[in-house]
Amino acid sequence: MSRQLAEKGADLLLLDNNDRALVGLSDSIQGAGFAEPGVCPLDLAVAGDDACRHLSEIISEQYGGLDILIHCAAAFHGLQPLEHVSVNQWHEMVQVNLNAPWLLSTTCLPFLRASDAGKIVFILEDERIYGLPFRGAYAASKAGLASLAQTLAEELEGSNVSVLKFYPPAMRTELRARAYHSENPKALRDPRIVASELVEKLL
C-alpha cells in the first residue's frame, strides 16, 4: 500500500518494528522516483506513552501535520485452542491488534483535527471469524478493533475527521496462509490490487 500511496503523491511516514524492512521499503519507494518516505521504528507490541510522544514530536517537527492514519499491523500466533495460548501471546495480540490502534489514534487525533479532511483507516477482519475455534485470541482482539473503529466513527461524526472501516477480501498473504492451511492461494486476491482499491478510496 505504501508504494501505491507514494505513486499518488502522498508524503509518507512509515512505522514498523523492523528497522531493516523500514529502510528497504523507503529505499525502494525512493528508488522508483517517488518522494523519500520518513521512517519511524516503532514496536507496537511494547509501544506506550513515551513512544507515542516521540511519534507526535516527529509529526509536528518534521511534517507539520497529518492527514491520514492507517492501521494495518496485525499479530497472529497461529491456530491453537485458547487453553494453549500463552499469556505473552494473548497480551501481544491484544496489544498490537487493539491497544496500539487506540493509542495511535488518540495520539494523532489533534493532527487529524487540524487537517482539512483527516482520516483514520482501520483494516478489519471478516466478522465470520468471531467465535471460530482455534482463532480465539486473534478474533477477540479484532472484534475489539471493530468496536473501537465504530466508536470512533460515532464520536467523530460531524467533525472534519472521518473513519474508514475497510474489510479486505481473502488475499494471498503470509498471515492468511497460516490461518487457512488448505486454501489454494491462486483462488485468493492479489494484495497489491486490494491495496490499490483502498488507496482509491483515500486519495
Structural domains of the chain ordered from first start = 42-167 (3.40.50.720), 171-202 (no CATH)
Q: Above 90 in pLDDT, residue 121?
A: yes
Q: Above 90 in pLDDT, residue 182?
A: no
Q: Above 90 in pLDDT, residue 112?
A: yes
Helix/strand/coil for 62: helix
Rounded to two decimals, the pTM is 0.93
Q: Which residues contact 114 (CB under 8 A, 6 or more apart)?
A: 65
For the chain, the 3-state helix, strand and coil shares in percent, each to the nearest 5, are 55, 15, 35
Q: Does residue 37 contact residue 13 with C-beta atoms inside 8 Å?
A: yes
Least confident of 93-97, 160-164, 180-184, 195-199: 180-184
Q: Residue 44's CB: how many other CB atoms inside 10 A?
A: 22
Q: Which residues contact 41 (CB under 8 A, 6 or more apart)?
A: 15, 16, 17, 19, 22
Q: Residue 12's CB: how many other CB atoms inside 10 A?
A: 21
Tell me how many degrees the CA angle 70-101-107 measures, rounded to the nearest 5: 90
Which band of pLDDT confidence, cut at 50, 70 and 90, is reported for residue 181?
confident
* Percent of the chain topping pLDDT 90: 92
Q: Above 90 in pLDDT, residue 195?
A: yes
Q: Does residue 198 contact residue 1 with C-beta atoms inside 8 Å?
A: yes
Where are the alpha helices (H) located in the chain, listed in sequence order? 2-7, 19-31, 49-58, 87-94, 100-114, 136-155, 174-179, 191-202
Residue 146's pLDDT is what? Answer: 98
Q: Above 90 in pLDDT, residue 91?
A: yes
Please choose, from the candidates 33, 39, 26, 25, the residue with its C-alpha nearest in 3D space to the C-alpha of residue 9. Answer: 33
Helix/strand/coil for 51: helix
Residue 203's pLDDT is what? Answer: 85
Which band of pLDDT confidence, cut at 50, 70 and 90, is reported for residue 66?
very high
Residue 108's pLDDT is what? Answer: 96
C-alpha cell at 41: 521504528
Q: Above 90 in pLDDT, residue 140?
A: yes
